[in-house]
Chains A and B, each alone.
Chain A
Amino acid sequence: MNIHQYEVIVVGAGGAGLMAGLYASKSAKTAIISKLYPTRSHTGTAQGGIGAALGNVEEDHPEWHTFDTVKGSDYLGDQDAIEFMCTEAVPAIYELEHMGLPFDRTPEGKIAQRPFGGHTNNVTGKPVPRACHAADRTGHMILQTLYQQCLKNNVTFFDEFQVVDLIMVDGKAAGVVAIELATGEFHVFHAKAVIFATGGHGRIWEITSNAYAFTGDGPAITLRRGLPLEDMEFFQFHPTGIYKLGILITEGVRGEGGVLINGLGERFMEKYAPKVKDLASRDVISRAIYMEIREGRGVNGQNYVYLDVRPETVNKYAALDGRTRPDGSPYTVTGEQILAKLPDIVDFCRVYLGVDPVTQPMPIQPTAHYAMGGIPTNKYGEALADEKNTVVPGLYAAGECACVSVHGANRLGTNSLLDLVVFGKYAGLRAAEYAKGADFPPLPDDPAGFARAQFERIRSASGTENAFDIATTMKKVMFDDMGIFRSGQGMENALQVVRELKERFKHVRPTDTGSIFNMELMNIWELGNLLDLAEVTTVSALARTESRGGHAREDYPDRDDKNWLKHTLAFQDEQGRIELKYKPVVITRFEPKVRTY
Chain B
Amino acid sequence: MEVTLKIFRYNPEKDKKPSYKTYKLEAVETDRVLDLLEKVKGYQDGTLSFRRSCAHGICGSDAMRINGMNRLACKTLVRDVGTRITVEPLLGLRVIKDLIVDMKPFFENYKKVMPWFINNDPPPEKERLQSPEARLRFDDTTKCILCACCTTSCPSFWGSDEYLGPAAFVNAHRFIFDDRDQAAGERLKIVNEVMGVSRCHTVFNCTLACPREIQITKAIGELKMALVTGRLD
Q: Residues of A at under 8 Å CB distance from B?
A: 36-37, 39-42, 44-45, 54, 93-94, 97-100, 102-111, 134-135, 137, 140-141, 144-145, 148-149, 151-152, 182, 211-213, 245, 247, 344, 347-348, 351-352, 466-468, 510-512, 514-520
Which B residues touch A134, using CB under 8 A? 142
Partner of B116, one of A37, A108, A148, A352: A148
Count contacts between A and B, CB distance < 8 Å. Answer: 159
Which A residues touch B178, using CB under 8 A? 100, 102
Given A42-B54, A352-B30, the answer on whether A105 and B130 have CB atoms closer than 8 Å is yes
Q: Is the CB of B129 within 8 A of A108?
A: yes
Partner of A213, one of B53, B117, B128, B180: B53
Q: Is the CB of A98 within 8 A of B100?
A: no
How far apart are the CA atoms of A440 and B114 in the complex, in Å? 35
Q: Is the CB of B59 within 8 A of A211?
A: yes
Q: B56 at the A/B interface (Cβ < 8 Å)?
A: yes
Q: Is the CB of A211 within 8 A of B55?
A: yes
Q: Is the CB of A36 within 8 A of B42?
A: no
How far apart are the CA atoms of A211 and B74 in the complex, in Å? 11
Q: B230 at the A/B interface (Cβ < 8 Å)?
A: no
- Interface residue total, chain B, C-beta cutoff 8 A: 62
Q: List 4 additional A-B contacts (Cβ < 8 Å) besides A105-B132, A109-B131, A512-B46.
A: A44-B145, A351-B75, A351-B77, A512-B47
Which A residues touch B61, using CB under 8 A? 36-37, 40
Which B residues touch A247, using CB under 8 A? 55-56
Instruction: For residue B74, give the distance in angstroms from its CB to the closest CB of chain A.
Output: 10
Which A residues touch B42, using CB under 8 A? 466-468
Q: Which of B4-58 contact A (CB under 8 A)?
A: 11-14, 30, 39, 41-43, 45-47, 49-58
21 example contacts (A-B, Cβ-Cβ < 8 A) are as follows A40-B53, A42-B53, A45-B54, A45-B58, A94-B123, A100-B119, A100-B175, A100-B180, A100-B181, A105-B135, A110-B126, A134-B142, A137-B142, A148-B117, A152-B118, A212-B54, A352-B77, A510-B46, A511-B46, A516-B96, A520-B47
Which A residues touch B13, using CB under 8 A? 514-516
Interface string of B122-139 (1 = CB under 8 A from A): 010111111110010011
Given A468-B43, A514-B11, the answer on whether A99 and B30 have CB atoms closer than 8 Å is no
Most buried by A among B41, B46, B52, B128: B46
Q: Is the CB of B30 within 8 A of A140?
A: no
Q: B111 at the A/B interface (Cβ < 8 Å)?
A: yes
Nearest A-chain residue to B55, judged by Cβ: A212
Which B residues touch A514, using CB under 8 A? 11, 13-14, 47
Q: Is the CB of B97 within 8 A of A516?
A: yes
How far apart are the CA atoms of A386 and B49 in the complex, in Å? 41
How far apart are the CA atoms of A504 and B100 in the complex, in Å? 30
Nearest B-chain residue to A137, judged by Cβ: B143
Q: B146 at the A/B interface (Cβ < 8 Å)?
A: yes
Q: Is the CB of B131 within 8 A of A520?
A: no
Q: Is the CB of A94 within 8 A of B127?
A: yes
Which A residues touch B143, using CB under 8 A? 137, 140
Which B residues touch A103, using CB under 8 A? 127, 135
Q: Is the CB of B43 within 8 A of A466?
A: yes
Which A residues touch B77, using CB under 8 A? 351-352
Which A residues touch B59, using CB under 8 A? 36, 39-42, 44-45, 211
Q: Is the CB of B129 within 8 A of A109?
A: yes
How far apart are the CA atoms of A140 and B41 in the complex, in Å? 29
Interface string of B85-122 (1 = CB under 8 A from A): 00000000000111010010001000100111111000
Q: Is chain B's interface secondary structure helix, strand, loop, or mixed overall? A: loop
Nearest A-chain residue to B174, judged by Cβ: A102
Q: B60 at the A/B interface (Cβ < 8 Å)?
A: yes
Nearest B-chain residue to A109, judged by Cβ: B129
Nearest B-chain residue to A97, judged by Cβ: B127
Instruction: For residue B11, give the distance in angstroms from its CB to the closest CB of chain A.
Output: 6
Instruction: For residue B152, give the distance in angstroms from its CB to the closest CB of chain A.
Output: 15
Nearest A-chain residue to B29, judged by Cβ: A354
Nearest A-chain residue to B59, judged by Cβ: A40
Nearest B-chain residue to A95, judged by Cβ: B123
Which A residues touch B30, using CB under 8 A? 352
How far apart are the CA atoms of A23 and B160 in the complex, in Å? 37
How far apart are the CA atoms of A103 and B130 in the complex, in Å? 9
Nearest A-chain residue to B106, judged by Cβ: A37
Instruction: For residue A140, give the distance in angstroms from its CB to the closest CB of chain B.
Output: 6
Partner of B115, one of A110, A148, A344, A466: A148
Nearest B-chain residue to A102, judged by Cβ: B142
Instruction: For residue B209, give the distance in angstroms from its CB to the closest CB of chain A.
Output: 15
Nearest B-chain residue to A42, judged by Cβ: B54
How far apart are the CA atoms of A370 and B139 in the complex, in Å? 29
Q: Is the CB of B126 within 8 A of A94?
A: yes
How far apart are the CA atoms of A403 and B96 in the complex, in Å? 38
Instruction: For residue B88, give the distance in angstroms from its CB to the closest CB of chain A.
Output: 16
Which A residues touch B117, using CB under 8 A? 99-100, 145, 148-149, 152
Q: Is the CB of A98 within 8 A of B123?
A: yes
Which A residues touch B47, using CB under 8 A? 511-512, 514, 520
Q: Is the CB of B130 within 8 A of A140?
A: no
Most buried by B among A36, A107, A148: A148
Q: Is the CB of A351 within 8 A of B57?
A: yes
How far apart are the CA atoms of A82 and B114 in the complex, in Å? 37
How far apart are the CA atoms of A151 and B112 in the complex, in Å? 11
The 8 closest A-B pairs by CB, nearest first: A100-B117, A468-B42, A109-B129, A148-B116, A152-B116, A511-B46, A512-B47, A98-B123
Q: Is the CB of A104 within 8 A of B132?
A: yes
How far apart are the CA atoms of A364 and B68 in the complex, in Å? 33
Q: Is the CB of A151 within 8 A of B135?
A: no
Instruction: For residue B203, give the distance in angstroms from its CB to the closest CB of chain A.
Output: 25
Q: Is the CB of A45 within 8 A of B56?
A: yes
Nearest A-chain residue to B100, judged by Cβ: A517
Given A140-B58, A145-B117, the answer on whether A212 and B52 have CB atoms closer than 8 Å is yes
Given A100-B116, A352-B77, A517-B49, the answer on whether A40 and B60 have CB atoms closer than 8 Å is yes
How far apart are the CA atoms of A233 and B54 in the complex, in Å? 24
Q: Is the CB of B123 within 8 A of A211?
A: no
Partner of A110, one of B11, B57, B111, B127: B127
Q: Is the CB of A97 within 8 A of B43?
A: no
Q: Is the CB of B49 within 8 A of A519?
A: yes
Nearest A-chain residue to B35, judged by Cβ: A245
Which B residues touch A102, using CB under 8 A? 135, 138-139, 142, 178
Given A36-B61, A512-B46, A519-B50, the answer on whether A109 and B130 have CB atoms closer than 8 Å is yes
Instruction: For residue A247, give the distance in angstroms from its CB to the closest CB of chain B.
Output: 5
How far apart are the CA atoms of A107 and B132 in the complex, in Å? 6
Which B residues touch A40, using CB under 8 A? 51, 53-54, 59-61
How far apart are the CA atoms of A388 and B127 in the complex, in Å? 41
How far apart are the CA atoms of A49 and B144 in the complex, in Å? 18
Q: Is the CB of B103 within 8 A of A37?
A: yes
Given A45-B59, A515-B13, A520-B41, the answer on whether A110 and B180 have CB atoms closer than 8 Å is no
Which A residues touch B103, using CB under 8 A? 37
Q: Is the CB of A516 within 8 A of B12?
A: yes
How far apart are the CA atoms of A213 and B116 in the complex, in Å? 26
Partner of B58, one of A44, A98, A515: A44
Nearest A-chain residue to B107, judged by Cβ: A37
Q: Is the CB of A151 within 8 A of B115?
A: yes
Instruction: For residue A434, give the distance in angstroms from its CB to the closest CB of chain B.
Output: 28
Which A residues touch B58, using CB under 8 A? 44-45, 137, 140, 344
Q: Is the CB of A212 within 8 A of B53?
A: yes
